[in-house]
Every structure is written in structure tokens, then in C-alpha cells.
Structure 1
């Protein structure tokens, strides 16, 4: 008799909750009061292993249970709260009879792969600079290895797009997941800056193979009039990764080590590789629909593609500016540095809510150019308002507004790209698309750091650039409409 998915989730959840309590109540006092560092090392390793199994149980339940995404989200959040797993177990026990088991849904596995890819990225943010310094890297090398990942990621994105069109997204997904998991384990052997640079290049390159292939697989197996909604759901997992990844790595690294954090991520990657081999290989790409054949002669440089690429670049340009300027702005105002993290979480939570709630239907009903211009415009206005915000209340409000803009922009540019490119070129299109994502992050932070602007001028410049692109997208939509009529 097979175990019910909720039974598996409850058992692993209780084990995770018990191991967390043992870590906090026994191992950490032994380390910080009696100097027994080995206690945290051993108990932290046990807890990390159990958490990895628990994460797989959450994934399995999300795939097999006919319930909303709020349950998996609650299960993840409970893992970081003492006694949270026990409260969740009580809720799950009562809810079990209310939900039926459904056949395996490949889409949730694709969502999970997207989550893994961005979780890998965001989990690096709080720990990579300190890890680089711990192996003897100078301040210049610390900054270099952080940016190096994005540059290598860009090359991986482009190669993934080209190869996806040639051999199909499934094979590229398998290669990307497997090699990324192996690359994550290499951090255990890093003991000098040169080896760290080599590992960062390898890690960034192979990780860049995953996302274009995953989005191509999702787009090619989606009904045409539901693509916007599905892209919005995908954005939910990107947002969750942005919220959970930094918190997970920061907490786990403080209790164990940075290489151990990457090992936990690697275990998830190997597990997804196995699940993909079993479940995704049997899915065939759907035949092209007639309305996809009217695209611009297989061109990657029509109006829709250019706007999608521009939207991707300036979206991440804005993110790079936020990551660079917001902590400095908060510090200048005299607030605790933790406020920067909660502000980032605020915009992520707002975006996730718009992705997962019925508001996601707008991306299949409104023109992508309209929602693109609206989202980019809101983000531009938010950048201008951040420079004028001096209280915590106004900062939270403005970052919430920024989250709304992000939530409108991300699905819009993805949907626009899907509709502007025929199926046989979609992999290459997504490869270049996510290359622009990676380049945008580098450009946003490095350009503002190079220009002789203060913090407020940096926000103002970014806001003006975003508003100009929003105006371009809106004007271009009107021109395309006039040409078509």
C-alpha cells in the first residue's frame, strides 16, 4: 500500500521540526555556552539532510495533491519557525480528507525546476562575498567573483537557447540540472581565490542552461490562450525563490557552513534530475497552433521580440539598481540594515500575490504591450519615489508599488516573447531573453557605481530610464495598431 502524499509530508515535517528544536535548544547552547562547536556541526548536518528530504516531500505533495499553492508555501515557511511544523501537522491532519490525489502534473515539476534555478541564484546573495573573503580573496576579487557568475550565466543562457531548438528542451534540462548539482558540490573543495573563480565560471555557465529550456518546455506544452496565466504562475516560483533563498542560506550558513548550504541545494537538484528523467521524458511537445504560424517569418527581431528583450534588460537593470542603492539609502536614513531585507521581501510578497491570485487572468485578456508599459511605468515611478522616501511607512508603500509593477512586467514580457516567436525558434529566443536578464543585473549595479552620482541621483536616473522605455512600449503599441489597420 502506497503512503498518502500528506502522510509523507507530515512525517518528514515532524522530523524536520524535531531536528530544528534539537539544533536550537541543545546543539547551539553546547556551542555558545560550553564551546562544543562539534555539536552544531553534527546537528546542523542532520537537520540540513532532513530538511532536504522534507523539501522533496513538499514538492511531491504539491505535484500529487489537488490543493492550492498556499499549502506548499505554508509548509516551507513552517520549516523556519520553531514549533511551526507541529502546528502545520495539526492542520494537515484535519485537511487530508478534504483534498483528492491527482495524476502527476508535469507543470508543477517544471515550476519546481524554475524555483530551483532561481533558489540557487538567490541563496548565493547573502553568503558569497563572505565566503570569497574567507578563502583569501581581496575586495576586488570578491566583487569580481559575484559578477563573474552572471557573465558566465549569460553564455549558458545563449548556448541553452541554441541547443534547445536543436535537441529539444528536455535533454538540455537534464544536462543543466545534473551539471549544476555537481558544480554546487565543488564549493567544498575551494580553498583559494583562483579555484573559486574557476568554480564560479563553471557554476554560472551550467546553471544558465536550465531556465531557457524550462521556459521553452512550459511554453511549448501550454494552450495558446492560457500562456499569460501560466507565465504568471511561473513568476510565483521566481518570487518565492527570491523570498526564501536568501533567508535559507543566511540561516543555514550561520549554523553550518557555506559549502554545506550549497550541498543542500545540490541534493534538491539531483532529486529534480531524477524526477525529470522519470516524468518529463514522456511528454511530447504539442503541435504548433495555426495562430502561431503567422509570426514574423521566424524572425527573432520583430517588434514583439525587441520589446520583450528590452523589458527583460530594464527589469533586471532596475533590480541591480535596487540591490546597489537601497541598502545605502536605508543606511543613510539611519535605519537598521535589516530594513533593506524586509523591504525586498515586501516587493516579492506583493508580486507573488498578484501572480497567484485571479489577477493573473489579466495577462491573457489585456494586450501584452499595455501591461508591459503599465508595469515598467510603475517601476519607474517607484524608483523616483524611493529617492524621496524618508520614513519606513513610505518606503514599504513604495516597494509595494514596485512589486505591483514587477508583477505586471514579468509575465508581460514572457507572454510577448512566446507570441512573437514560432515554436521552432523559441529555445533560441529564450536563451537570448535570459542573457538580457543577466546583463541587466550587471549593468544596473556597475553603471550606477561608475557614474559620479549620489544615491538620490542614481534612483532618479533609473526611474527616468524606466519611464522612457515604458513610453516607448506604449507608443510602439499604438504604431503597430495603426499599421495593422
Structure 2
């Protein structure tokens, strides 16, 4: 992959997640400002993830059929238009319609972007490349909420989204210039000759890892602000804690530690990452000072930074250029489902916040052990040559 195409793909990934994270601080208040009830305001947020799931799946299918570049250009153009359509919102019903459209077209971008990146990257550099791509996800998680929160306090939410849309148009123009098929060289297929059943098992493990990662994220997004408030701290602490997690994840992604993702088997890294997330969830529920919370969120960032490249690399190695798009579509659909499940399940349970953190941590630790067992089973299945 040349530097120009890599820069454009990184920019596309950053835009996709910047768009997502910029919505977080402002969407619920924007919904109530146009007359939404608390229930409808919650639906406005949830329905985006639901339609995004369908966008992810169809993006993967279409990527395999007509190629990722076309899907990227269409996704970038339609996402920018959908961001501008927030100017038309004056009722809760209109907002729901815009959210459905926005979630769907935004869902077209990420599977196509990661598929293209994988197809342009040499097999022995997949782990490092995914880690570098993940650093732009982390940057978006840090910059997006801060940008929209500050801008919305000075202007309006539709104007904030207009700036995001302009960024999307700029990225689309870069993609149009630098991602022409004639300028790109596809790498040979990375799929190894290991047998269909084992490869399919690795794909399933990648899907499970994606679900667990975002299940944990959904739990953090829902529980952490409530827990910080219950401890008597200002609500701004939850924002700086999340930034700490994001900064630590980015550091692991970009420092020489990213070489480990090509040196250690991704299934082992996935088990380690899930385990660290589980321990972190348990520790958050027992941390009562800001210093301890910062330390635990830093540990959580390490777990996130290990798990994200591991499950991506696992998926890439178990697929080829003919089916990778569809696989990535389902992969990011599990991302969306994990987020919704994490927050919805914990919101439904009538237990204390500490118990909710403990439950989340327990689920993740059990899942980490299952990853270890599956890895041991895989070793026993290796044929003798």
C-alpha cells in the first residue's frame, strides 16, 4: 500500500468514527429540543445503531460484488448529505427518519474501508496495519465528543453536523483522486490452507470478539457516568476518564508495541484482551477515588488496544478477497449489536452499579476462558504431516 492510499483510508476511517462520536454528547439533548419524550430520545439513539447494522451487512455484500472503492465513495457522499439533512429536522418524527437514513448510509463506510485496507496490505503486516488504523478510531473517540460538545455550546447541532459533512466531502474528493483502481496494487490472498472448518471457526471467534468488545464499550458508556455521579464527582470526570482510555489505546496502537500484533497469534491476543477488559470492569466497580479510576481506565485502554487488532487480524487471515467484504459487514454488525446489548441489558437489570460492573466483568472473563479453550482445541485439531 502506498502512502497516499494509506493516508486516504486512514482519513476515511477517522471520518466514519468522528461522525459517530460527534453525535454522543449532543443527540439526546437535540432530540428533546425538537419535542421528543425521554423514551423517543432513547429511541433516536438506538435506532441509529439498528439501521447501522443493516448498512454494515449490505456494505459487506456489495463490497464483494462491486468492490470497496465504489461503496466507499457512495457511503461518504450519502453520509455527508444525511448530516446536512439535520437542518430539516423540526419534529421528533422527522428526526427519527433522518437517524434511520444516517445510520444506514454511515454503515456502508467502515466494512468497505477495512476490506480495502486488508486487500492492499501484505500478509505479514496485517496486525500492525490494523493497529495503526485503530489509532485513528481512538483519535476520533477523543476528538469527536470534544469537538461537538464545544461547537454545540456556541452554535447549533445542525451547524456542528454541517462541519462534519464538509469534512466528509473533502475525504470523498481525496478518495476519488487517490483510490482509483489503476493506482492500487492488491496483495495476494492472505488466507492460509488450513481447512474450511478451522477457518470458519476463526471467523466466528472474530465475530464473538467484536460483540464482546462493544458489549464492554456499551457497558462503560452507560455505567461510568452514573458511577462517577454516585461517587459525588463532577460529570466532567467521566469525560476525562474516557479520554484516558482513548489516549492509552492510541499509544499502544502507534508505539513499537504494535509489532506484537504480527508476532503473537491473534487468538491468544484476543483472549488476553478480553481478559484485561473483564478485570478492568471488575476493578472500576470497586474504585472509589479518581486516581484509581484513571489507573483502571488506562488498563482498560490497553485491553481495548490488544483486542481490536487481534480480532481484525483473525478475520483477515480466515478470509480472502472474494468473501472478505461480506465477512467484515457481519463483523461490524456484531459491533453495533454489542453496543446496544451492553447498555440495554444493564439498564434492564435492577441491581447496583457495582454489581453491574461485576456482572460485565464476569461475562468477559468467562468469554476469555472460552477463547483459551477454543485455542487449545484448535491445536489438537492440527493434522500431523
**Given the two structures, how large is their TM-score scaled by the length of structure 2?**
0.97
Mapping 1:249-398, distance limit 5 Å = 249-281=148-180, 282-284=182-184, 286-289=186-189, 292=191, 294=193, 296-297=195-196, 302-398=200-296
* CA contact 2:192–2:317 (8 Å) conserved in 1: no
Q: Which runs of 5 or more residues in structure 2 are unaligned?
A: none
Q: Give the Cα separation in 2 of the matches to 1:157 and 1:227.
A: 22
Which one of the candidate residues 111, 133, 137 is aligned to 2:10? 111
* CA contact 1:295–1:421 (8 Å) conserved in 2: no
Q: Give the Cα separation in 1 of the matches to 2:349 and 2:174.
A: 47
Mapping 1:25-64, distance limit 5 Å = none
Q: RMSD between aligned alpha carbons?
A: 1.3
Q: Give the Cα separation in 1 of the matches to 2:133 and 2:192.
A: 25
Which one of the candidate residues 29, 34, 56 is aligned to 1:135? 34
* CA contact 2:121–2:187 (8 Å) conserved in 1: no
State the match for 2:113 in structure 1: 214
State the match for 1:172 in structure 2: 71
The alpha-carbon deviation at position 423 of structure 1 amounts to 1.8
The alpha-carbon deviation at position 284 of structure 1 amounts to 3.8
* CA contact 1:312–1:437 (8 Å) conserved in 2: yes
* CA contact 2:281–2:357 (8 Å) conserved in 1: yes
* CA contact 2:284–2:296 (8 Å) conserved in 1: yes
The number of aligned residues is: 381
Larger radius of gyration: 1
Deviation sequence 1:314-336 (CA, Å, 0-9, x none):
10000000011111111111111
Which one of the candidate residues 239, 244, 250 is aligned to 2:143? 244
The alpha-carbon deviation at position 286 of structure 1 amounts to 1.5
State the match for 1:227 in structure 2: 126
Shift of the 109–152 alpha-carbon distance from structure 1 to 2, 3 Å rule, reads same
Deviation sequence 1:105-131 (CA, Å, 0-9, x none):
211110110000000000000000111
* CA contact 2:122–2:187 (8 Å) conserved in 1: no
Mapping 1:194-209, distance limit 5 Å = 194-209=93-108
Shift of the 300–436 alpha-carbon distance from structure 1 to 2, 3 Å rule, reads farther
Q: Give the Cα separation in 2 of the matches to 1:400 and 1:234.
A: 20
Q: Give the Cα separation in 2 of the matches to 1:107 and 1:143.
A: 37
State the match for 1:419 in structure 2: 317
The alpha-carbon deviation at position 191 of structure 1 amounts to 0.3
Q: Give the Cα separation in 2 of the matches to 1:108 and 1:452.
A: 47
State the match for 1:475 in structure 2: 373
**Given the two structures, how large is their TM-score scaled by the length of structure 1?**
0.77
Shift of the 474–250 alpha-carbon distance from structure 1 to 2, 3 Å rule, reads same
Look up the SS of the partner of 2:81 in the other structure. helix
Q: Give the Cα separation in 2 of the matches to 1:474 and 1:283.
A: 42
Q: Which runs of 5 or more residues in structure 1 are unaligned?
A: 1-102
Q: Give the Cα separation in 2 of the matches to 1:108 and 1:223.
A: 17
The alpha-carbon deviation at position 287 of structure 1 amounts to 4.9
Shift of the 366–300 alpha-carbon distance from structure 1 to 2, 3 Å rule, reads closer
Runs of 4+ in structure 1 off by over 6 angstroms are none
Q: Give the Cα separation in 1 of the matches to 2:258 and 2:187.
A: 25
